[in-house]
């Protein structure tokens, strides 16, 4: 359940994008109080520098504190698989449990695997897919839908890091994906999310849904594969404009941490 949060501090959306020759290399997104803006922006600069970009953009925009909504991070469960085939099978099973039809689930995975953009490359954002028919609903299939303006309350950040470290998940990708999934699942009309990274060296991905939280799957592609992306699945008859507006414009802060466990619930 989303509740409106009253924020005493001024908050700023900080976004980073690094690329080379028109290709995406690295990106990051934070929503932080005013006193953390400089520290977070510097950390993003350092992170981008690791990729040797030819272009680098950092944007800082104040958000209206009255517009910030809050909700819980989903519970994280690790799904033990040893290969990509099994990983994708587990992802399909999870999507079916979330209410996505079988053909649509399989097609979404195949589309991300080959490159979801019209030119066969990776999309900059997410596909928005009708969970029943498989129709793609994003207005621009090259750009996709960009979930932005989300983070966790600053006082909860250290605890989340500690909980992830206990499960050997202390990687910024896991933390950021968990926060993004929280916002996506709070969006009106969205019933599930599928994602894996376009980083050739990072093979993990996840399926998230309100009914079971965030299922982390360590093998969604082979090492060296540059393809990756994400898909948001929506229920039939939802308000398209309302959902896109929430995902792309509404600021979201997680105010509760879910359980960080493994398949057995530990």
DSSP conformation letters of 41-100: HHHHHHHHHTT--SEEEEEEEEE-GGG-EEEEPPPEEE---SSHHHHHHHHHHHHHHHT-
Residue 54 confidence class, pLDDT cut points 50, 70, 90: confident
Give the tens place of pLDDT for each residue, 86-115.
Answer: 999 999 999 999 999 999 999 999 999 999
- Whether residue 7 is predicted with pLDDT greater than 70 in this model: the reply is no
**Which pair of structure tokens corresponds to residue 225?**
């594969």
Q: What is the mean pLDDT of residues 195-208?
A: 94
Strand residue runs (E) in the chain:
3-4, 11-20, 23-33, 55-63, 69-72, 76-78, 126-130, 150-152, 190-196, 205-209, 213-217, 229-234, 252-256, 260-261
pLDDT of residue 35 exceeding 70: yes
Domain residue ranges in the chain: 3-67, 72-261
Checking if the pLDDT of 265 tops 70, the result is no
Identify any residues that bridge with 240 across adjacent strands, giving them in sequence order. none
**Percent of the chain whose pLDDT exceeds 70:** 95
* pLDDT, tens only, 110-147: 999 999 888 888 888 999 999 999 999 999 988 999 99
189 φψ region: left (φ > 0), alpha (ψ -120 to 50), beta (else): left
* CA–CA dist 84, 67 (Å, integer): 41
Provide the whole-model pTM.
0.90
C-beta separation of 220 from 203 below 8 A: yes
Rounded Cα distance between 97 and 118, Å, is 29
Which residues sit opposite 208 in a β-bridge?
193, 214
With bands split at pLDDT 50, 70 and 90, how would you rate the model's confidence at 213? Answer: very high
Nearest residue to 236 (alpha-carbon basis) of 109, 92, 104 = 104
Residues 6 or more apart from 5 whose CB is under 8 A from it? 68, 69, 70, 253, 255
């Amino acid at each position: 359940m989303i509740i409106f949060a009253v924020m005493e501090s001024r908050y700023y959306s900080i976004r980073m994008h690094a690329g080379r020759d028109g290709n995406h290399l690295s990106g990051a997104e934070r929503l932080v109080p005013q006193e953390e803006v400089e520290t977070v922006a510097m950390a993003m600069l350092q992170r981008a520098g690791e990729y040797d970009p030819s272009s680098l953009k950092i944007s800082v925009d104040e958000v209206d504190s009255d517009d910030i909504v809050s909700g819980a991070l989903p519970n994280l469960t690790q799904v033990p698989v040893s290969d990509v085939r099994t990983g994708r099978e587990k992802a399909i099973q999870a999507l079916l449990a979330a209410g996505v039809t079988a053909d649509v689930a399989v097609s979404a995975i195949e589309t991300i695997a080959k490159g979801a953009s019209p030119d066969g490359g990776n999309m900059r954002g997410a596909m928005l897919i009708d969970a029943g028919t498989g129709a793609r609903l994003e207005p621009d299939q090259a750009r996709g839908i960009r979930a932005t303006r989300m983070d966790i309350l600053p006082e909860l950040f250290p605890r989340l890091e500690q909980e992830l470290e206990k499960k050997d998940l202390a990687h910024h990708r896991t933390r950021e994906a968990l926060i993004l999934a929280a916002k996506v699942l709070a969006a009106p009309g969205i019933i599930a999310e599928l994602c894996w990274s376009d980083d050739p060296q990072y093979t993990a991905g996840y399926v998230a849904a309100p009914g079971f939280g965030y299922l982390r799957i360590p093998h969604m592609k082979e090492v060296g594969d540059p393809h990756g992306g994400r898909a948001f699945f929506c229920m039939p008859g939802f308000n398209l404009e309302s959902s896109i507006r929430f995902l792309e414009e509404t600021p979201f802060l997680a105010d509760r941490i879910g359980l960080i466990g493994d398949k057995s619930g530990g």
